[in-house]
Structure 1
Amino acid sequence: MKIKLFLLLIIFFMLPQITEAQCAMCRAVVESEADGKTAEGINNGIVYLMAIPYILVGGLFYFVYKKMRG
């Protein structure tokens, strides 16, 4: 399992055009809109997608901390 994950990370780092494909598409959509509502929606989506993993990892660390102390 660790070898598969390692190989996947190596592929992503060696082929950056794969990982950056969506950024160019989002940028084109945002630049084509004049009112800015699309850009605001994309920014809110990015914040939402970024916050969920941090909340989950924070909760995991909290429960591990409580388990180790008690």
Structure 2
Amino acid sequence: MLDNIKLDKRVMQKRITILFFILAFFFSLNVGAQCAMCRAALGGESNSVQAQAVNDGIVYLMAVPYVLVAGIGYAVYRMRKNNKTN
């Protein structure tokens, strides 16, 4: 009986994960992006405020993938830890 509950839970988690990725694939947002060459183009002394804003945007865009990978890694770690205790 307990094995069936664990199996059903795994199947449900797998279905939810697949559904999430399908929805994320079809319902993505259109956002503006910056290129790394913008930093070189704004490197002059006259537009230092604008150059700082572009640099901050580049750092923000660079940090998001690292945060996502860390979150996924932590979720996998917790899932494996919970499976070992059960």
Match of 2:64 among 40, 52, 57: 52
Higher relative contact order (CA 8 A, sep 6+): 2
SS of the residue 1:69 aligns to: helix
What is the identity, as a one-letter code, of the residue corresponding to 1:54?
A: Y
Q: Would you identify which runs of 4 or more consecutive aligned residues in structure 1 move more than 3 Å?
A: none
Give 1:1-70 correspondences, 5 Å limit.
23=37, 26=38, 27-28=40-41, 30-32=42-44, 34-70=46-82
Unaligned runs of 5+ in 2: 1-34
How many residue pairs were aligned? 47
Unaligned runs of 5+ in 1: 1-20
Q: Distance in 2 between matches of 1:31 and 1:22?
A: 12
SS of the residue 2:46 aligns to: coil
Q: Distance in 2 between matches of 1:64 and 1:47?
A: 26
Q: What displacement does 1:33 show? A: 5.8
Q: Distance in 2 between matches of 1:38 and 1:49?
A: 17
Structure having the higher helix fraction is: 1
Q: Rg: which structure is higher?
A: 2
Normalised by the size of structure 2, how large is the TM-score?
0.47
What is the identity, as a one-letter code, of the residue corresponding to 1:67?
A: M
Identical counterparts, % of pairs: 43
